[in-house]
């Protein structure tokens, strides 16, 4: 993957990391990347993590906090002035006061936390923690660096013509059929095609289908690049690998694709991604299970290409200086509060199965890995329901307005108990090729789905000053930060 | 596939009759009184008769028969002399029987406690590997019950109790339990071993006869083991001490070889330096190191949890004072050299 990172980029990465290391000598710094595909819960996780460190909280498994060794943690101005600040205060207020989940991450943001802690042997030290929150979709762009426009067109059109997506892609495919790649370049055609392509990608994200592998990532979250030529292209039906004639539509699209790569993808890789020390990848496996086998297979593909982007492994002296690797990666199945805790092990097994290949690679490289089912802000309580002699493990919470189960639409105020269905003991059945593993909302009318994970609102009665309820956030903290605080 | 399908998703109203809410996470004010009592370890099934067992059983039977006969005779003789003498003898015999029974019961209890510590340790190790939450919770509850008698753990016990209701994985819960309950005990145990080692080395260095320090080393070893067992909640009786002693020695035999890397060099070095000063002092250091190592073995066999979250004490932790002392004595002080040599011989 990194073959196409240019030598110049490589040199800049090396120089940057050397500077980082020198700064480290003065003030030890840890760059923690928080990522995940959209709606995986990145913002909520980051908010809860900051809140837990600043306010303290019930973190029994996080040894440093439990032993009382963390003296203080406070927000400090971040090092990169050109990157937006993660607006922790707003997100927290929204969760706590409005009882709404924050809007999704559309861009990279950063926040710096300075933790004063006492090592077990005594004394008082400082660890600077830089949190980098970025959309996982951007990682899906990294493989594009290796692709030519022809390759990109071929793979993305093949995906669009896949039976699971063909219906959603129909308008785009029609627009594509109406265009002439070898015809003269035309801004209107380009914009029509790009708009249809974007719409198709957006449609793939709906709850009923929940697709994940949707490059190029910026089409869905353009940020300030919206409308720029670099985002106004679409894959075309190209006859072969032959160079398109100058002045043709294909040539124009190719130029823009290259511009996308150099203006969007490469800077992200160079300035942010290559500098991370630790990484947490949040995965919303439940949405994929909700939607059906096609979504799950898609999620698996997407995770695969995300994970291929990481430089994993234990750092040697040289690599520490010039090409730092990510030493620890935590895969977290978020929204574990949508399940009874007795099913968490099964959810972890599913996640493990999803990231299996990456796990093998990371182990070979010597990086540390963990898989956990967590919930950064726990929105539900647990209950058991006796029905016809069976005891069903259920969860109780307030579903978001508009959520629907078996014909019942919730108003956003009603508190109900939900039994989401049994996850299989062995996850392999879910991944049956051919999509026969289970039924999701995408099949038929969704009435006979095997699972129904309702989205819940944040719990009532939590205050900004009090610790937030969570599931295994402390375990995540222990894995990601524990060794640096020891 | 269809026959493997789980139960269907369903939605319930909170007013539904069958719905029981799980209790909210326990508040820090949980009372230690309502904690579960300790679960006695299941008796180990032993099949087959060993020669030793046969010997001891037969001997025990003969001795108790002999004692019974002798006591009966004695009481009969007393009755023959005078009625009241017989009554007094009978009363004493009754008291004796009661006392013996009580002693046996105490010993049995001590043994059961010891083996329950062993079982606990095995269960904790198991839960760590399998990441089994119910098993880990059982271990945590048993340890909380065990810690009930240690007033210094009141706070730790309360803290841990509040975490039992939270969603924590099995292995994490075992580690949390270890960190919460064992850390204060470990520190105390370390201090005990270190003190005992220092005491032994000093007594050896100044004792006039080899027999005295031999006796003292033995005595210290026994008391140290007993105190460690008591610290970790064992309270062994006499028979328990014998078993514990055998445990410690066998553990020492196993780990002695492994520890050779870090320990032996230091021992020889320490001895060498000290011995140049004085043979007695060198012997003192060696005896101290022996005691320290014995203490470590005793910690390993009496601690009801394996060392997972906390570092196991190493010889250098408990014998540091000893070696440092020897090195300090060794510091070039020409004037003292001769004096040191003279005092030892």
Query: Does the CA dihedral B187-B190-B196-B198 come out positive or negative?
Result: negative
In the predicted model, what is the mean pLDDT of residues B88-111?
91
Which residues does chain B have within 8 Å of residue A63's beta carbon, measured at their own beta carbons? Answer: 179, 309
Contacts of A59 (CB under 8 A, 6+ apart): A52, A65, A66, A473, A474, A477
Coil/strand/helix, residue B310: coil
In the predicted model, what is the mean pLDDT of residues B198-204?
87
Is residue B296 situated within a structural domain? yes
Which residue has better confidence, A428 or B3? A428
Residue B276 has pLDDT above 70, yes or no: no
> For residues B209-230, b (16+ Cβ closer than 10 Å) or e, as one string?
eeeebeebbeebbeebbbbbbe
- B59 band by pLDDT with thresholds 50, 70 and 90: very high
Is residue B156 situated within a structural domain? no
User: Which pLDDT belongs to residue A464?
Assistant: 67
Say if CB A213 and CB A38 are below 8 A apart: no
Which residues does chain B have within 8 Å of residue A451's beta carbon, measured at their own beta carbons? Answer: 9
Test B10 with A418 for CB contact under 8 angstroms.
yes
Which H or E element spans position B184? Answer: helix B183-206
Residue of A nearest to B26 (CA): A58
Closest Cβ–Cβ partner in A394, A422, A471 for B12: A394
Structure tokens at A201: 């990608």
Test A60 with B5 for CB contact under 8 angstroms.
no
Test B10 with A436 for CB contact under 8 angstroms.
no
Task: Please give, rounded to a whole number of angstroms, the shortest distance from the CA of B265 to a CA of chain A.
Answer: 26
- B186 band by pLDDT with thresholds 50, 70 and 90: very high
User: Which pLDDT belongs to residue A111?
Assistant: 93
Say if CB A391 and CB A468 are below 8 A apart: no
Closest Cβ–Cβ partner in B9, B12, B169 for A451: B9
* B contact test, residue of A339, A394, A459, A469 with most B CBs within 10 A: A394
Is residue B213 situated within a structural domain? yes
CA distance A364 to A359: 9
- B57 band by pLDDT with thresholds 50, 70 and 90: very high
Which residues does chain A have within 8 Å of residue B309's beta carbon, measured at their own beta carbons? Answer: 63
> For residues A249-274, b (16+ Cβ closer than 10 Å) or e, as one string?
bbbbbbbbbebbbebbbbebbbbbbb
- B258 band by pLDDT with thresholds 50, 70 and 90: very low
Residue B334 has pLDDT above 60, yes or no: no
Structure tokens at B69: 């006969």
Residue B219 has pLDDT above 80, yes or no: yes
Say if CB A482 and CB A330 are below 8 A apart: no
Beta strands in chain B (DSSP E): 10-13, 19-21
pTM of the predicted model as reported, rounded to 2 decimal places: 0.80
Quickly list H helices, B232-258.
Answer: 238-258
Is residue B75 situated within a structural domain? no
HEC assignment per residue over chain A? CHHHCCHHHHHHHHHHHHHHHHHHHHCCEEEEEEEECCCCCHHHHHHHHHHHHHHCCCCCCCHHHHCCCEEEEEEECCCCCCCCECCHHHHHHHHHHHCCCCCCCCCCEEEEEEEEECCCCCCCEEEEEEEEECCCHHHHHHHHHHCCHHHHHHHHHHHHCCHHHHHHHHHHHHHHHHCCCCCECCHHHHHHHHHHHHHHHHHCCCCCCCCCCCCCHHHCCCHHHCCCHHHCCCCCCCCCCCCCCCCEHHHHHHHHHHHHHHHHHHHHHHHCHHHCCEEEEEECHHHHHHHCHHHHHHHHHHHHHHHHHCCECCCCHHHHHHCCCECEEEEEECCHHHCCHHHHHHHHHHHHHHCHHHHHHHHHHCCEEEEEECECCCCCEEEEEEECCEEEEEEEECECCCCEECCEECCCCCCEEEECCCCCCCHHHHHCCCCCCCCCCCCCCCCCCCCCCCCECCCCCCCCCCCCCCECHHHHHHHHHHHHHC
Looking at residue B131, the DSSP 8-state letter turns out to be T
pLDDT in tens, B79-97: 999 899 999 999 999 999 9
CA angle B225, B231, B232 (to 5 degrees): 95
CA distance B150 to B304: 14
User: Which pLDDT belongs to residue B32?
Assistant: 39
Q: Please enumerate, as own/partner, the contacts of B141-144 that have beta carbons within 8 Å and a separation of 24 or more.
A: B141/B35, B141/B36, B142/B36, B142/B38, B142/B39, B142/B116, B143/B177, B143/B181, B143/B304, B143/B305, B144/B32, B144/B35, B144/B181
Which residues does chain B have within 8 Å of residue A386's beta carbon, measured at their own beta carbons? Answer: 18, 20
Q: What is the residue whose two structure tokens read 């979709």?
A: A137
Structure tokens at A1: 């993957």
User: Which pLDDT belongs to residue A183?
Assistant: 85
CA angle A28, A34, A39 (to 5 degrees): 165
CA distance B290 to B256: 11
Structure tokens at B47: 């099949």
Is residue B74 situated within a structural domain? no
Which residues does chain A have within 8 Å of residue B180's beta carbon, measured at their own beta carbons? Answer: 66
CA distance B9 to A421: 4
Residues paired with residue A112 on neighbouring β-strands, in sequence order: A76, A130
- B323 band by pLDDT with thresholds 50, 70 and 90: low
pLDDT in tens, chain A (486 residues): 444 567 787 788 888 888 887 887 778 889 999 988 878 889 999 999 999 999 888 888 998 998 889 999 999 988 888 888 999 999 999 998 888 999 877 788 999 999 999 998 888 999 999 999 988 878 888 888 878 888 889 888 988 888 888 888 899 999 988 888 888 888 888 899 999 999 998 888 877 777 777 788 888 877 777 888 888 888 988 877 677 888 888 899 999 999 998 888 888 888 888 888 899 999 999 988 888 888 888 888 888 888 777 776 666 666 666 667 788 889 999 999 999 988 898 999 999 988 887 777 777 877 888 899 999 999 998 888 888 788 888 899 999 888 877 777 888 888 888 888 888 888 888 888 776 778 877 765 556 778 888 889 998 878 767 888 999 999 999 999 999 988
**Domain coverage including residue B250:** 183-344
Residue of B nearest to A389 (CA): B18
- Backbone φ and ψ of A404, nearest 5°: -135, 135
Residue B41 has pLDDT above 60, yes or no: no
Q: In what order do the strands lie in the sheet with A416-419?
A: B10-13, A416-419, A390-397, A381-387, B19-21
- What domains appear along chain A, each with residue ranges and CATH number? 2-134+272-378+468-485 (3.40.50.300), 147-264 (no CATH)
Which residues does chain B have within 8 Å of residue A423's beta carbon, measured at their own beta carbons? Answer: 6
* Closest to A115 (Cα-Cα) out of A57, A86, A75, A68: A75
Test A416 with B175 for CB contact under 8 angstroms.
no
In the predicted model, what is the mean pLDDT of residues B321-326?
61
User: Which pLDDT belongs to residue B80?
Assistant: 92
- Backbone φ and ψ of A386, nearest 5°: -95, 120
Calculate the alpha carbon distances from A328 to A279, A479, B44, B266 in Å. Answer: 6, 8, 44, 37
Structure tokens at A47: 């908010």
User: Which pLDDT belongs to residue B290?
Assistant: 84
Q: How many CB atoms lie within 10 A of CB A27?
A: 10
What is the average pLDDT score of chain B? 78
- Backbone φ and ψ of A478, nearest 5°: -60, -40
Residues paired with residue A109 on neighbouring β-strands, in sequence order: A133
pLDDT in tens, B112-158: 888 888 889 999 999 999 888 889 999 999 999 888 888 888 888 88
Is residue B122 situated within a structural domain? no
Looking at residue B10, the DSSP 8-state letter turns out to be E
CA distance B52 to B60: 12
CA atoms within 13 A of residue A195's CA, in its CB half-sphere: 8
Task: Please give, rounded to a whole number of angstroms, the shortest distance from the CA of B92 to a CA of chain A.
Answer: 57
Which residues does chain B have within 8 Å of residue A449's beta carbon, measured at their own beta carbons? Answer: 9
Is residue B316 situated within a structural domain? yes
Say if CB A431 and CB A286 are below 8 A apart: no
Test A385 with B168 for CB contact under 8 angstroms.
no
User: Which pLDDT belongs to residue B38?
Assistant: 38
Task: Please give, rounded to a whole number of angstroms, the shortest distance from the CA of B263 to a CA of chain A.
Answer: 23
User: Which pLDDT belongs to residue B343?
Assistant: 37
CA distance B188 to B194: 10
Test A450 with B167 for CB contact under 8 angstroms.
no
Query: Does the CA dihedral A374-A377-A382-A387 come out positive or negative?
Result: negative
Test B10 with A344 for CB contact under 8 angstroms.
no
Q: Please enumerate, as own/partner, the contacts of B332-340 that have beta carbons within 8 Å and a separation of 24 or more.
A: B337/B277, B340/B277, B340/B278, B340/B281
Test B18 with A452 for CB contact under 8 angstroms.
no
Number of domains in chain B: 1
Coil/strand/helix, residue B21: strand
CA distance B266 to A158: 69
Say if CB B147 and CB B179 are below 8 A apart: no
Structure tokens at A483: 């060794």
Residue of A nearest to B28 (CA): A58
Say if CB B213 and CB B203 are below 8 A apart: yes
Is residue B178 situated within a structural domain? no
Q: How many CB atoms lie within 10 A of CB A181?
A: 18
Test A416 with B14 for CB contact under 8 angstroms.
yes
Closest Cβ–Cβ partner in A60, A416, A451 for B166: A60
Contacts of A89 (CB under 8 A, 6+ apart): none
* Closest to A80 (Cα-Cα) out of A34, A20, A22: A20
Say if CB B130 and CB B138 are below 8 A apart: no
CA distance A247 to B121: 77
């Amino acid at each position: 993957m990194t073959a196409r990172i240019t030598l110049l980029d490589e040199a800049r990465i090396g120089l940057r990391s050397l500077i980082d290391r020198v700064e480290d000598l003065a003030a030890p710094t840890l760059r923690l990347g928080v990522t995940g595909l959209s709606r995986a819960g990145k913002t909520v996780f980051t908010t809860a993590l900051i809140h837990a460190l600043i306010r303290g909280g019930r973190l029994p498994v996080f040894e440093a906090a439990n032993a009382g060794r963390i003296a203080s943690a406070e927000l400090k101005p971040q090092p990169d002035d050109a990157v937006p600040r993660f607006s922790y205060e707003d997100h927290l207020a929204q969760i706590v006061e409005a009882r709404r989940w924050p809007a999704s991450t559309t861009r990279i943001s950063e926040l710096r936390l300075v933790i004063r802690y006492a090592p077990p042997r005594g004394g008082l030290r400082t660890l600077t923690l830089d949190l980098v929150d970025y959309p996982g979709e951007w990682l899906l762009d990294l493989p594009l660096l290796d692709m030519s426009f022809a390759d990109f067109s071929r793979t993305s059109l093949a995906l669009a013509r896949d039976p699971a997506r063909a219906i959603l892609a129909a308008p785009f495919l029609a627009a594509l059929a109406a265009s002439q790649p070898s015809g003269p370049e035309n801004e209107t055609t380009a914009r029509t095609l790009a708009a249809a392509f974007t719409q198709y990608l957006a449609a793939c994200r709906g709850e009923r289908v929940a697709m994940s592998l949707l490059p190029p990532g910026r089409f869905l979250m353009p940020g300030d690049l919206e409308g720029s030529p670099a985002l106004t292209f679409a894959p075309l039906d190209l006859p072969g690998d032959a160079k398109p004639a100058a002045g043709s539509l294909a040539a124009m699209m190719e130029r823009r694709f290259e511009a996308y790569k150099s203006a969007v993808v490469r800077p992200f890789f160079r300035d942010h991604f290559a500098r991370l020390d630790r990484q947490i990848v949040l995965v919303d496996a439940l949405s994929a299970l909700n939607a059906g086998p096609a979504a799950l297979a898609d999620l698996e593909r997407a995770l695969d290409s995300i994970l291929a982007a990481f430089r994993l492994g234990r750092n040697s002296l040289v690599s520490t200086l010039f090409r730092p690797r990510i030493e620890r990666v935590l895969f977290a199945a978020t929204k574990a509060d949508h399940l009874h805790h007795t099913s968490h092990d099964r959810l972890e097994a599913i996640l493990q199965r999803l990231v299996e290949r990456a796990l093998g690679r990371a182990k070979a490289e010597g990086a540390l890995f963990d898989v956990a089912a967590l919930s950064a802000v726990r929105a539900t309580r647990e209950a058991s329901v006796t029905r016809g002699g069976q005891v069903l493990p259920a969860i109780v919470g307030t579903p978001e307005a508009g959520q629907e189960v078996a014909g019942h639409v919730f108003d956003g105020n009603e508190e109900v108990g939900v039994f989401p269905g049994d996850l299989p003991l062995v996850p392999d059945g879910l991944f049956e090729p051919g999509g026969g593993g289970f039924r999701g909302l995408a099949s038929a009318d969704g009435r006979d789905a095997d699972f129904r994970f309702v989205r819940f609102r944040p719990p009532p009665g939590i205050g900004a000053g009090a610790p937030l309820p969570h599931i295994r956030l402390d375990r995540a903290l222990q894995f990601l930060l524990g060794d640096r605080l020891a | 596939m269809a026959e493997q399908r789980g139960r269907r998703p369903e939605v319930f109203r909170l007013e539904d009759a069958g719905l029981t809410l799980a209790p909210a996470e326990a508040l820090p004010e949980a009372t230690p009184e309502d904690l579960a009592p300790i679960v006695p370890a299941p008796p180990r099934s032993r099949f087959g008769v060993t020669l030793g067992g046969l010997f001891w059983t037969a001997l025990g039977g003969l001795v108790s028969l002999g004692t019974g006969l002798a006591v009966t005779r004695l009481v009969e003789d007393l009755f023959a002399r005078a009625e009241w003498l017989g009554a007094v003898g009978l009363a004493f015999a009754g008291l004796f029987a009661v006392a013996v029974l009580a002693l046996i019961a105490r010993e049995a209890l001590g043994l059961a406690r010891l083996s329950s510590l062993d079982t606990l340790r095995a269960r904790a190790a198991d839960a760590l590997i399998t990441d089994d939450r119910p098993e880990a919770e059982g271990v945590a509850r048993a340890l909380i019950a065990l810690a009930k008698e240690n007033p210094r753990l009141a706070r730790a016990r309360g803290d841990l109790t509040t975490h039992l209701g939270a969603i924590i994985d099995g292995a994490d819960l075992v580690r949390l339990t270890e960190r919460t309950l064992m850390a204060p005990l470990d520190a105390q145990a370390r201090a005990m071993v270190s003190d005992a080692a220092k005491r032994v080395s000093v007594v050896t260095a100044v004792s006039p006869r080899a027999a005295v320090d031999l006796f003292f080393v033995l005595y210290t070893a026994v008391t140290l083991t007993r105190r460690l067992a008591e610290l970790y909640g064992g309270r062994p009786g006499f028979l328990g001490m014998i078993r514990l002693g055998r445990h410690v020695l066998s553990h020492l035999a196993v780990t002695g070889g492994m520890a050779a890397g870090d320990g032996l060099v230091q021992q020889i070095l320490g001895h060498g330096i000290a011995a140049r000063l004085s043979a007695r002092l060198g012997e003192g250091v060696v005896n101290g190191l022996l005691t320290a190592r014995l203490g470590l073995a005793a910690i390993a066999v009496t601690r009801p949890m394996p060392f997972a979250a906390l570092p196991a004490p190493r010889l250098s932790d408990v014998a540091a004072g000893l070696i440092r002392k020897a090195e300090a004595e060794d510091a070039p002080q020409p004037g003292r050299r001769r004096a040191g040599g003279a005092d030892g011989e």
